[in-house]
Chains A and B, each alone.
Chain A
């Protein structure tokens, strides 16, 4: 298919661009296969806007006489308006945008066409391999092994080719366990707590069904992570009733009789369609500037967004607490084990593991616990908060995770190597990107699409020193402790950097941030200077003493 077929009017002049809190600008609009480009023709500081078609969430058009207006709502929540003279041009452009922003085929997406303008120093596709992770692990314990049982994606289609499992469990047993877990997602190691040797596993629900099926290998696998005489915790992200109902459909939960050493805790985390609804409501509330105080607060409440944040943080704290305080191993799962499970395991690691609070470590966490673990990004991030179509696979699962990290970041502003912008960057790229990192739903699909060969990785770009400097937190100071956030409603806040980003002037806040960075920078300069002067003085003194002698 040629993109040109979809573009009937590639260019329109005298278009007026309206962005909130900016003066309207007149200029030229161009459509290409992947971008909408607006350029003001003013000689002095010409303004340009490049918008990826895949970033467009919805488009509305209306006419006043022959002047057409297109309102474009983006997946990063921005809303822009274009006034286009000429009814035909406007209609053509609108239908082109609509077609180009809803391409079915992944291989037509921009990452397959994007040619980087920068030198690749390190290929992001091979920056975070599980083998490296395992090497680190083997330096502290030999109770685990790398298994290639899923090499051909034959045991579990949503798992990566290699996984870490207890050493005493062989591949044959893993195959059997896979049959006992939904989607073949048998329990694998998610995190190893070096401090006390406790492990966090994740999986999908066991297929016990109504007649209480059991699987000896499954029991053996998870028991292998327990110290003798100690108990472990199963954190089920569904309420008990839902878990019980799941049995009718062949699913289920670990029953006490068969798992006597495990205590089950049901910690409910909402599922995708409810989260999507919550997301849409929240964005709606934030975008309406005319709300009076009562309406705003009741809309904020009705969105339930902050409730989801609190639930999720609480569940993650609980998992972290079991591991760090109770010295118990933990198995986390919900139904499929691809959404709420990953939210809990990855957030618990942010709390427990100082390495995950560095830039590199956080990237590794996203790769390990989200991309390789098979969170279906393609499905979940197909549409954002402005989509009208009722598709049931979209959900801001990853965004919720990022926001929880942000909430913890706010409470421990000196413990993270990255800044808020880094989290926002990941949000943007999960929904629309020139990089292939977030394409596909799991490693299996990524391999089939040959993404590592055909597209550029986000990490190749972001880990270059000149980009990285934008995402560094000047206040960072390595903190090796476990960080326990407060989950009281008074301690949680709306993530303004995402939800109010386009709805208010932020100039003063940005300037204040720059001032903060300057104070820290200046401090470092002064320290260096004082130290140099002291050394100089000490040397002079020493010289003098020598002379005296």
Chain B
């Protein structure tokens, strides 16, 4: 515990600060300011801690978080600062999974609730929903004991005609044994999205089993003879891989395939792209042109567009041409996961529901072995393995929700919350790199699943504009991917920088109004019932005068306590908005005005004063 610590405003040059006390707990860093407002930061969220040179007011400490929060403390005594710095370094770097928050987090669920929570998302059920197994596709037991591929799940769906020797042979010809398996089946078009890793083709190697495997996938689609093979890497990268004995499919060796490069960059490019983006967006007193050129130089939006373009290509191949598509990159767990999951999201409206989105993440990301632990740096490990691949997926989905405001059951808060927990290590879902590892960690016994908690809170994550009939089942969502449609995701990268957001949130207002509408509908039912009851009673009142208990109870129904007098419609909306503590933007707006100086303008004023 350190007192008299100052928390600086990240974007104000007027040195506005809050003074308060800093506490370190086993799991969180907590700052309580003089007006008792609390800022909690989970140790696992800390991406970097930096001690800046001593200043007259104390020792500055800058903490960068994985959810893009940046806090800037000034600790009065250098020794305290040093202690905090060291403790945070230790606490934020965990060596063993067992030390992660998820293993100590206790949400007060009993054992059966815990088990039920883990059963909420059932992938076998999901494949059944898609329509497999069927005449063409079956469940394979080849990987039941993780013998063929350690990073795949136990249960894999393959074409019926792919025998075990073909599977085994194909897996030996694929990087990390990740042979082609079913990711999504489109029952109307009878076409499939399959995924795998790159072939070990080198310059000339071929593998008959692998060729058979692809043919089997092709034949499992009765409506189209050819299939697409999408290599999601830039062509140059794929060619370079040939020198290492890896590479891509030679169209001459595989019959009826149409080979296509897509050109999504690798994890290292993505990592440094995000780094550049954050550097730009974190600059104080940023000019518009520096922002735009920084945005351009970071390449971030270009990457998001590339990912979404690939998904559109995939979805169109299935929906328009009824062609099956095999997607791979190098190992088939980063770009492949992005493209397969987004493609399915465009094809199938189920994945645009809250539950369906959870299923999609469980299927294409968790079960197929996207390396969450490495990519999100859950344990102290190789910094070169860190990459915002999953963040890009969420951002692509956000872009789609912007273009199709009524197509998604969930809202932006849902995406942000998932992003938060991918890094929080508070729940077991995203721990580890693959299913095998998760089983070894006994996560289902020792930790809790995130999904039931999100579902219990689903009111917060519902899109008030959602129209379930927006598109008929299994019709393609066709986004416009012209460059100007892609915007900087302010609510993600500046989530905690309140001064940058609209001071009145139209979204929250609509959300609360729609919530209130549901409540009002119930009130009306209740009132009507009472009036009915009462008018019946008043007829009977002469006969049963002793029965007074009911009217007394009726005098204070819940809705009366809330609003004793009929209020004008507008005030009620405002009252609700102000009374919701989780979202007090509106009331914050009022307090913002009562402060001595407005942060935003004084910044400019300072500049102006210097020039005159």
Scan B450-487; emit 1 where CB is below 8 A from any A CB, else 0. 00000000000000110100000000000010111111
Q: Which of B296, B405, B555 contacts A509 (CB 8 A)?
A: B405
B604 neighbours in A (Cβ, 8 Å): 314, 317-318, 487
Q: Once the chains bind, are A414 and B509 in contact (CB under 8 Å)?
A: yes
Q: Once the chains bind, are B289 and A488 in contact (CB under 8 Å)?
A: no
A307 to B292, CA, bound (A): 10
Looking at chain A's contact residues, the main secondary structure is: helix
A509 to B465, CA, bound (A): 11
Q: Which of A293, A325, A523, A544 contacts B483 (CB 8 A)?
A: A293
Name the residue of chain B whose CB is nearest to the CB of A482.
B593
Interface size on B, residues (CB 8 A): 88
A541 to B560, CA, bound (A): 14
A500 neighbours in B (Cβ, 8 Å): 484
A263 neighbours in B (Cβ, 8 Å): 612
A487 to B12, CA, bound (A): 12
A325 neighbours in B (Cβ, 8 Å): 597-598, 601
Q: Once the chains bind, are A300 and B292 in contact (CB under 8 Å)?
A: yes
Scan A469-496; emit 1 where CB is below 8 A from any B CB, else 0. 0000001010001111111111111100
Q: Could you tell me the distance in whole angstroms from the C-beta of B262 to the nearest C-beta in chain A?
A: 14
B570 neighbours in A (Cβ, 8 Å): 477
Name the residue of chain B whose CB is nearest to the CB of A415.
B504
Q: Once the chains bind, are B482 and A504 in contact (CB under 8 Å)?
A: yes
A537 lies within 8 A of chain B by Cβ:
yes
Mark the stretch among A69-77, A170-178, A264-272 that contacts chain B: A264-272
Chain A: number of interface residues, binned into ranges: 35 or more
Q: Once the chains bind, are B482 and A289 in contact (CB under 8 Å)?
A: yes
Name the residue of chain A whose CB is nearest to the CB of B487.
A493
B114 neighbours in A (Cβ, 8 Å): none
Name the residue of chain B whose CB is nearest to the CB of A294.
B296
A29 to B604, CA, bound (A): 54
Query: Given A298-B293, A411-B504, A534-B527, A512–B465 Cβ distance below 8 Å?
Result: yes
Q: Which of B291, B505, B555, B572 contacts A490 (CB 8 A)?
A: B291
Q: Once the chains bind, are A485 and B600 in contact (CB under 8 Å)?
A: yes
Q: Once the chains bind, are B291 and A489 in contact (CB under 8 Å)?
A: yes
A515 neighbours in B (Cβ, 8 Å): 405-406, 465, 467
Query: Given A301-B293, A541-B555, A293–B486 Cβ distance below 8 Å?
Result: yes
B493 neighbours in A (Cβ, 8 Å): 490
A194 lies within 8 A of chain B by Cβ:
no
Q: How many A-B residue pairs have CB under 8 A?
A: 226
Interface residues of A in 291-321 (CB under 8 A from B): 291-298, 300-301, 304, 306-307, 309-310, 314, 317-318, 320-321
Q: Which of A296, A481, A486, A537 contacts B593 (CB 8 A)?
A: A481
Q: Once the chains bind, are B483 and A296 in contact (CB under 8 Å)?
A: yes
Q: Which of B527, B555, B573 contacts A523 (CB 8 A)?
A: B573
Q: Once the chains bind, are A266 and B597 in contact (CB under 8 Å)?
A: no
B488 lies within 8 A of chain A by Cβ:
yes
B35 lies within 8 A of chain A by Cβ:
no
A412 to B586, CA, bound (A): 10
Q: Once the chains bind, are B490 and A491 in contact (CB under 8 Å)?
A: yes
B541 neighbours in A (Cβ, 8 Å): 544, 547
Query: Given A263-B612, A520-B513, A544-B538, A508–B405 Cβ distance below 8 Å?
Result: yes
A541 to B531, CA, bound (A): 10
Query: Given A292-B302, A411-B502, A481-B590, A519–B510 Cβ distance below 8 Å?
Result: yes
Scan B589-612; emit 1 where CB is below 8 A from any A CB, else 0. 110110001101110110011011
A533 to B559, CA, bound (A): 12
B120 lies within 8 A of chain A by Cβ:
no
A10 lies within 8 A of chain B by Cβ:
no
B506 lies within 8 A of chain A by Cβ:
yes
B26 lies within 8 A of chain A by Cβ:
no
Scan B247-258; emit 1 where CB is below 8 A from any A CB, else 0. 000000000000
A245 lies within 8 A of chain B by Cβ:
no
A494 to B500, CA, bound (A): 16
A314 to B510, CA, bound (A): 30
Q: Once the chains bind, are A519 and B406 in contact (CB under 8 Å)?
A: no
B530 lies within 8 A of chain A by Cβ:
yes
Mark the stretch among A60-68, A130-138, A365-373, A524-532 that contacts chain B: A524-532
A522 lies within 8 A of chain B by Cβ:
yes
Scan B544-573; emit 1 where CB is below 8 A from any A CB, else 0. 000000010011000110000011011011
Name the residue of chain A whose CB is nearest to the CB of B589.
A481
Query: Given A265-B611, A292-B483, A411-B502, A519–B514 Cβ distance below 8 Å?
Result: yes
B11 lies within 8 A of chain A by Cβ:
yes
Q: Which of B302, B404, B501 contacts A508 (CB 8 A)?
A: B404
A37 to B535, CA, bound (A): 64
Mark the stretch among B66-74, B188-196, B362-370, B517-525 that contacts chain A: B517-525
A513 to B12, CA, bound (A): 35
A485 to B535, CA, bound (A): 55
B517 neighbours in A (Cβ, 8 Å): 519, 522-523, 526
B38 lies within 8 A of chain A by Cβ:
no
A511 neighbours in B (Cβ, 8 Å): 405-406
Q: Once the chains bind, are A410 and B405 in contact (CB under 8 Å)?
A: no
B19 lies within 8 A of chain A by Cβ:
no
A540 lies within 8 A of chain B by Cβ:
yes
Interface residues of B in 262-286 (CB under 8 A from A): 281, 286
Q: Once the chains bind, are B524 and A533 in contact (CB under 8 Å)?
A: yes
Q: Once the chains bind, are B602 and A526 in contact (CB under 8 Å)?
A: no
B510 neighbours in A (Cβ, 8 Å): 516, 519-520
Q: Once the chains bind, are A486 and B292 in contact (CB under 8 Å)?
A: no
Q: Once the chains bind, are A537 and B531 in contact (CB under 8 Å)?
A: yes
Name the residue of chain B whose CB is nearest to the CB of A545.
B551
B559 neighbours in A (Cβ, 8 Å): 530, 534
A232 to B590, CA, bound (A): 28
Q: Once the chains bind, are A298 and B504 in contact (CB under 8 Å)?
A: no
Query: Given A512-B405, A523-B516, A484–B528 Cβ distance below 8 Å?
Result: no
A260 lies within 8 A of chain B by Cβ:
no
Name the residue of chain A whose CB is nearest to the CB of B483.
A296
Q: Once the chains bind, are A504 and B485 in contact (CB under 8 Å)?
A: yes
A107 neighbours in B (Cβ, 8 Å): none
A534 neighbours in B (Cβ, 8 Å): 527, 559-560, 566
B520 neighbours in A (Cβ, 8 Å): 523, 526-527, 529-530
Q: Could you tell me the distance in whole angstroms from the C-beta of A478 to the nearest C-beta in chain B?
A: 9
Q: Which of A307, A475, A519 contacts B288 (CB 8 A)?
A: A307
Name the residue of chain B whose CB is nearest to the CB of A543.
B538
Interface residues of B in 369-418 (CB under 8 A from A): 403-407
Q: Once the chains bind, are B611 and A297 in contact (CB under 8 Å)?
A: no
Query: Given A486-B500, A530-B527, A508–B403 Cβ distance below 8 Å?
Result: yes
B404 neighbours in A (Cβ, 8 Å): 508
Interface residues of B in 570-587 (CB under 8 A from A): 570, 572-574
Enumerate the 8 nearest inter-chain pairs by beta-carbon distance, A residue then B residue, closest first. Answer: A512-B405, A489-B291, A296-B483, A531-B566, A301-B292, A297-B296, A526-B520, A293-B302
Contact surface of A with B, Cβ cutoff 8 Å: 240, 263-267, 286, 289, 291-298, 300-301, 304, 306-307, 309-310, 314, 317-318, 320-321, 325, 410-415, 475, 477, 481-494, 500, 503-505, 508-509, 511-512, 515-516, 519-520, 522-524, 526-531, 533-537, 540-541, 543-544, 547
Q: What are 26 A-to-B residue pairs whose CB atoms are below 8 Å?
A: A263-B612, A286-B484, A291-B484, A292-B302, A293-B483, A298-B296, A309-B288, A318-B608, A325-B597, A413-B509, A414-B506, A475-B509, A488-B11, A489-B287, A492-B288, A503-B484, A515-B465, A515-B467, A519-B464, A519-B510, A519-B514, A523-B569, A524-B569, A533-B528, A534-B527, A537-B527
Contact surface of B with A, Cβ cutoff 8 Å: 11, 281, 286-293, 295-296, 299, 301-302, 305, 403-407, 464-465, 467, 480, 482-488, 490, 493-494, 499-506, 509-510, 513-514, 516-517, 520-521, 523-524, 527-528, 530-531, 534-535, 538, 541, 551, 554-555, 559-560, 566-567, 569-570, 572-574, 589-590, 592-593, 597-598, 600-602, 604-605, 608-609, 611-612
Q: A489-B291, A515-B465 are in contact. List 11 more A-B contacts (CB 8 A).
A: A289-B482, A297-B293, A310-B288, A482-B593, A489-B287, A492-B288, A523-B513, A530-B524, A541-B554, A543-B538, A544-B551
